[in-house]
């Protein structure tokens, strides 16, 4: 049974199984958190950033407002990302962030019960890390938590027929992790979870600019540079971009012009590691399913899928057609939302979180 991506579905509440109207699907990502409300669609997409006053440990800002503070805060305000490499690095701050987001989308939550939450996690996390995610959702006000692996959610959100016997392959490149999986009959046949993704590309650019130009830039500048002129394969597009940073020797602001070709070289190591994860997953794939992939191709999702030339680079390296999902940034939350909308039919793809 295949499911149409929710981007094309009429979002009408359908009561089935345990999941009730108003309940949530959450893509708790390293870079961004997206929340889907049953029957209403994606209502929130904000950076996974929290600004904290270090003198009182009080939360000052969350999401978009907090991200604006990165690199611009006074000494007593710290803008932090509570998730690192796809897992929770700071339990209390993550709980506060998730609670804020839940309250923001459910403006008038029930006085007696919180929402049921289906939340996605990287396929490679440990049981302890998985339990931390569940406990964070409970601390944020959920009354019941279900877990779904990120590559399964991405595959469903990209419209792949995950319940069919034929094999499907998804490469989900987020901010902190890259998830590669071959899926058939509602289960993951082979997978690789790599803690190298979009943030690693930004860090590679920061290091390159520091080494080649003796210039310090922040992660926001590196990300903007990656989007504007970065590529994984020779493609048409802007060849150069001018950026401003702080000169290491003088400490004064300075402008430099950076070429797209050198950015491609700077990002080559993390991109090669991602392709290595794809190869490793294909090596563990049964021959029958590998044949399906040759004819059906591989689907790229996640923010990393938007890097120019990446699909062409992966296709060149593995010799299998590679396509970019229709809505790569939303694939994971759309897939998680599909589980919320069709819980009875897709119940076997989720894991029940520990009950409170």
Lowest mean pLDDT among 51-60, 199-208, 240-249: 51-60
- Number of domains into which the chain is organized: 3
> Do 248 and 202 share a domain, yes or no?
yes
User: Does residue 202 share a domain with residue 120?
Assistant: no
- Residues 230 and 135 both lie in one domain: no
Say whether both 28 and 129 belong to one domain.
Answer: yes
Mark whether 223 and 135 lie in a shared domain.
Answer: no
How many other CB atoms are there within 10 angstroms of residue 103's CB atom?
Answer: 12
CATH code where residue 309 lies = 3.30.420.40
User: Do residues 261 and 220 both lie within one domain?
Assistant: yes
Considering 226, 248, 266, which residue would you say is the last residue of a domain? 266
pLDDT, one tens digit per residue, over 123-154 is 888 888 888 888 888 888 888 899 999 999 99
CATH number at residue 228: 3.90.640.10
Pairing of strands 168-173, 298-301: parallel
Q: Exposure pattern of 124-139 as b/e (b: 16+ CB <10 Å)?
A: bbeeeebebbbbbbbb
Residue partners of 180: CB distance under 8 A and separation at least 6: 151, 169, 170, 171, 172, 191, 192, 193, 194, 277, 278, 280, 281
User: Which range among 11-20, 45-54, 195-204, 303-312 shows the weakest confidence by mean pLDDT?
Assistant: 11-20
pLDDT at 188 over 80: yes
Specify if 1 maps to a domain.
no
The confidence band for 323, taking pLDDT boundaries of 50, 70 and 90, is: very high
- Give the domain range for residue 254: 198-266
Task: Kindly state whether residues 259 and 309 are assigned to the same domain.
Answer: no
What's the pLDDT tens digit per position in 259-274? 999 999 999 999 999 9
Q: Is the dihedral of CA 145, 151, 156, 158 positive or negative?
A: positive
- Shared domain for 137 and 168, answered yes or no, is no
Does residue 10 lie in a domain region? yes
């Amino acid at each position: 049974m295949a499911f149409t991506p929710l981007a094309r579905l009429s979002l009408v509440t359908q009561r089935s199984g345990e999941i009730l109207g108003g309940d949530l699907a959450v893509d708790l990502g390293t870079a961004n958190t997206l929340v889907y409300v049953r029957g209403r669609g994606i209502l929130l997409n904000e950076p996974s950033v929290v600004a904290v006053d270090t003198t009182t440990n009080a939360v000052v800002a969350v999401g978009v407002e907090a991200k604006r503070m990165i690199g611009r805060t006074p000494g007593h305000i710290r803008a932090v990302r509570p998730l690192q490499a796809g897992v929770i690095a700071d339990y209390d701050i993550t709980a506060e962030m998730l609670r804020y987001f839940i309250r923001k989308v459910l403006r008038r939550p029930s006085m007696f019960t919180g929402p049921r939450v289906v939340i996605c996690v990287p396929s490679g996390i440990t049981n302890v890390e998985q339990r931390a995610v569940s406990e964070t959702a409970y601390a944020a006000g959920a009354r019941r938590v279900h877990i779904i692996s990120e590559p399964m959610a991405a595959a469903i959100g990209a419209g792949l027929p995950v319940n069919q016997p034929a094999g499907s392959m998804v490469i989900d490149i987020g901010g902190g992790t890259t998830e590669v999986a071959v899926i058939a009959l509602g289960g993951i046949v082979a997978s690789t979870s790599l803690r190298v993704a979009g943030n690693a590309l930004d860090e590679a650019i920061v290091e390159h600019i520091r080494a080649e130009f003796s210039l310090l830039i922040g992660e926001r500048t590196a990300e903007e540079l990656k989007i504007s002129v970065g590529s994984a394969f020779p493609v048409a597009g802007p060849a150069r971009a001018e950026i401003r940073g702080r000169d290491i020797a003088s400490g004064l602001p300075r402008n430099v012009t950076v070429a797209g070709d050198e950015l491609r070289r700077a990002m080559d190591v993390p991109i090669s590691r991602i392709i290595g994860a794809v190869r490793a997953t294909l090596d563990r794939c049964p021959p029958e399913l590998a044949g399906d992939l040759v004819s059906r191709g591989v689907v790229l999702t996640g923010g990393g899928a938007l890097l120019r030339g990446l699909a062409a680079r992966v296709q060149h390296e593995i010799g299998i057609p590679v396509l970019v999902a229709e809505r790569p940034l939303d694939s994971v939350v759309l897939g998680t939302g599909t589980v919320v909308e069709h819980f009875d039919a897709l119940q076997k793809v989720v894991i029940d979180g520990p009950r409170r």
